[in-house]
Structure 1
Amino acid sequence: MEKQSTLPLYQLFIHPKDLRELKKDIWDDDPVPGVMKVNHKRLDIDIAYRGSHIRDFKKKSYHIEFFQPKIFRGAHEIHLNAEYKDPSLMRNKLSLDFFSELGTLSPKANYVYVKINGKNEGIYLELESVDEHFLAKRKEAKGAIFYAVDDDANFSLMSDLEKETKTSLELGYEKKTGTEEDDFYLQDMIFKINTVPKAQFKEEITKHIDVEKYLRWLAGIVFTSNYDGFVHNYALYRSSETGLFEVIPWDYDATWGRDIHGERMAADYVRIQGFNTLTARILDEPHFRKAYQQLLEKTLQTHFTIDYMKPKVMALHEGIRPFVLTDPYKKDDIERFDREPDVICQYIKERAQFIKSELYRLS
């Protein structure tokens, strides 16, 4: 990663009446109109707060939809994340880049600087939306995309939230793009995951899931330690060409040794076998379990090492530091920000040792 000396400036303008409406209820998902200016280009937008628990933070995160023109730089909408609870501001980007290097479809994440009505709001992480434009940019086949919106996206017939049998196999998911037929494919997959006998499971699951890509996604969660990642923080994409589902990561700030509150998380907190019904059934198959073990071993030698990750961490840290110093919400925490590369590197060392010590469980 190259050192960044400048960041794109996003100037947002919201009429005072609309801004008051936006602030009146932070839990309201209805957007208000606004204007965004980037490099002298004017864009009419709709803007709303985004996230769940993060809406309570002083520095808000935003969802922006382009209205006129409808497409800007190949996107119809973007997400501006404050990364407020991550003292490094780097964990989400580090994670999504890491997933991409593991061969998983992953959103792009880049830093921008934001002003609202002329007032500095500071440094933000712009996250690419996972939608039909996301697929088109990667020359992927068209297909359905489902967002996992709560913990019921657990690949199970049982509800994590209600602790009883689900009333619908689509619970936990919100369709971003796709057809009614795609709803059936999602229901069919979840039904088969939970009902196919062990003797037929290996053959049946490969008709629904790209298992190799699923294992890469699983490895990504396990290395970054996103505790919520197994039943949340992801999207499902079903390729119209292969007919197979694969998983796309999303919202990975609570990783690399810190939890959603920004507190230190023990390096052995997330087990290498992961969680959720689908993971348990896949790893119950010796062939898949061996492939997963080999993937972990290879990643421990290549991507998940201090030699490989530390230069990336330091380049990001140095690149965004000047902008953290001018961020009204973060500049007073600069000493903590400067300690974070060591926290992340210490996590990598301890997590690598833990994973190595647990590999025997997959034999």
Structure 2
Amino acid sequence: MSYSIPSYALILKDTDLKDLRGDLWNDEPVPANLQIDGVTYDIDIAYRGSYTRKFRKRSYRIEFIEPKVFSEAREIHLNAEYKDPSLFRSKLSFDFFNDLGVLSPESQHINLTRNGSLKGVYLQLESVDEFFLKKRGLPSGPIYYAVNNDANFSLMRDEKMKETLLSGYQRAFGKPSDDDILLELINKINTVSLSNFSSEISHSININSFLRWLAGAVCTMNNDGFTHNYALYHNSETGLFEIIPWDYDATWGRKVDGGIMKCNFVPLEGKKSNHLCYLLMRVPEFRKLYRNILEEVLETKFTADYMENKVVSLHKALRPHILLDPYKKSQMDKFDCEPEFIFQFIRDRSNFLKDQLVSFY
């Protein structure tokens, strides 16, 4: 089945557009209309992201007001992917995580116009909230976004005590009383002895899912995704937390600024700044499980052969739209080189990880 790129038409009043542009760092939305497949939705729209707000092509957060739901979602994100020469690294990553059995947001490229002016290709990203759970038939449970580097599962950051254990997290769904569950998790991670860590942490975290997420983050080499750019979901039936990837444009060999990242930049064990990753790798049974997962992934999923059709299909589907994108059409040479760049990264990264596994016990 071919990958289609639908068109969305954003319509704002001049006064509301002026308000939106007036303060890049204001998270308060303005009203607008969004036309999709002949249906007009009343929406609230605001800029999203941190440093990306400074780019010429900006990303948006959209909440549907009337009708209140679009495609089983109350809220979506339109990511500009401005620094990614391929514009599909995020989607490639989320689809990869899904193949690994990790909960991941759905994503879909779209063409966006604003008041009749073409703004180019965006990646529509599913919000991780109660609708995300309902769509997958998952039990209700609180969800937290890791919004900054304080979300490192530690009591400290940069050798300084954090103000609160919840520093770095933002509740996206749930009640204030749910914060106690996350507080208990972080406290347990930092107080349980290493000798008891295996049994204790297994009652709080879906270990297999977490280690599969770690394998995905390590393979895609998301240097920016270990202490933020993820979400935590507490499954009310199992009583376990699961981790969900978020914002994966700086991957597959590219930095956040679009530059080249060497294939050995992120260690096989992940980044030690994520205190939970660090502790899990100190436990022999978890270390062995992670090794088995990573070996499986390197042999079956993280290969140029396995990823070829996914990469080529996305590139082929996006190319005619990138040719019209006012922010990207002048960079077609780079866009056309990205598939082979990604394949070479996979080969180099895989070889590096396999070499590291030789002495990983």
* Structure 1 counterpart of 2:172, one-letter code: K
Q: Distance in 1 between matches of 2:230 and 2:6?
A: 27
Task: State the match for 1:348 in structure 2.
Answer: 346
Name the TM-score, length of structure 2 as normaliser. Answer: 0.98
Q: Distance in 2 between matches of 1:297 and 1:34?
A: 49
Q: Is the 8 A contact 1:109 1:128 kept in 2?
A: yes
Task: State the match for 1:256 in structure 2.
Answer: 252
Pick one of 68, 71, 85 that aligns with 1:70.
Answer: 68
Pick one of 296, 300, 303 that aligns with 1:302.
Answer: 300
* Structure 2 counterpart of 1:78, one-letter code: I
Q: Is the 8 A contact 1:150 1:232 kept in 2?
A: yes
Aligned positions of 1:331-342 closer than 5 A: 331-342=329-340
Task: State the match for 1:273 in structure 2.
Answer: 269
Pick one of 16, 29, 32 that aligns with 2:30.
Answer: 32
Q: 1:167 deviation in Å?
A: 2.0
Gaps of 5+ in 2: none
What whole-Å deviation, never above 9, does each CA across 1:19-64 have from its counterpart, x for those lacking one?
Answer: 0111111111111100011111010000111100111111111110
CA RMSD across the alignment: 0.9
Q: Distance in 1 between matches of 2:137 and 2:344?
A: 38
Alignment partner of 1:212 is 2:202 = no
Task: State the match for 1:106 in structure 2.
Answer: 104
Aligned positions of 1:158-197 closer than 5 A: 158-160=156-158, 163-197=159-193
Task: State the match for 2:41 in structure 1.
Answer: 43
Q: Is the 8 A contact 1:3 1:316 kept in 2?
A: no
Q: Is the 8 A contact 1:238 1:244 kept in 2?
A: yes
Name the TM-score, length of structure 1 as normaliser. Answer: 0.97
Q: Distance in 2 between matches of 1:171 and 1:205?
A: 21
Q: Is the 8 A contact 1:96 1:107 kept in 2?
A: yes
Q: 1:7 deviation in Å?
A: 1.8
Q: 1:361 deviation in Å?
A: 3.9
Alignment partner of 1:202 is 2:198 = yes
Pick one of 80, 83, 86 that aligns with 2:81.
Answer: 83
Q: Distance in 1 between matches of 2:359 and 2:83?
A: 34
Q: Is the 8 A contact 1:59 1:329 kept in 2?
A: yes
Q: Distance in 1 between matches of 2:325 and 2:292?
A: 43
Q: 1:181 deviation in Å?
A: 2.9
What whole-Å deviation, never above 9, does each CA across 1:119-170 have from its counterpart, x for those lacking one?
Answer: 001111000000000000000110000000000000001024xx41122110
Task: State the match for 1:318 in structure 2.
Answer: 316
Q: 1:277 deviation in Å?
A: 0.9
Q: 1:360 deviation in Å?
A: 2.9
Pick one of 283, 286, 289 that aligns with 1:285.
Answer: 283
* Structure 2 counterpart of 1:359, one-letter code: L
Q: Distance in 1 between matches of 2:197 and 2:121?
A: 47
SS of the residue 1:229 aligns to: coil
Q: 1:250 deviation in Å?
A: 0.2
Q: Distance in 1 between matches of 2:30 and 2:143?
A: 26
Question: After TM superposition, what 4+ stretches of structure 1 lie above 3 angstroms from structure 2?
Answer: none
Alignment partner of 1:3 is 2:30 = no
Task: State the match for 2:153 in structure 1.
Answer: 155
Task: State the match for 2:12 in structure 1.
Answer: 14
Gaps of 5+ in 1: none
SS of the residue 1:111 aligns to: strand
SS of the residue 2:161 aligns to: coil
Q: Is the 8 A contact 1:11 1:38 kept in 2?
A: yes
Q: Distance in 2 between matches of 1:124 and 1:361?
A: 42
What whole-Å deviation, never above 9, does each CA across 1:307-327 have from its counterpart, x for those lacking one?
Answer: 101111011100110100111
Task: State the match for 2:224 in structure 1.
Answer: 228
Q: Distance in 1 between matches of 2:334 and 2:279?
A: 42
* Structure 2 counterpart of 1:210, one-letter code: N
Task: State the match for 2:54 in structure 1.
Answer: 56
Q: 1:86 deviation in Å?
A: 0.2
Q: Distance in 2 between matches of 1:46 and 1:108?
A: 21
Q: Distance in 2 between matches of 1:220 and 1:70?
A: 34
Aligned positions of 1:127-146 closer than 5 A: 127-146=125-144
Q: Distance in 2 between matches of 1:271 and 1:40?
A: 48
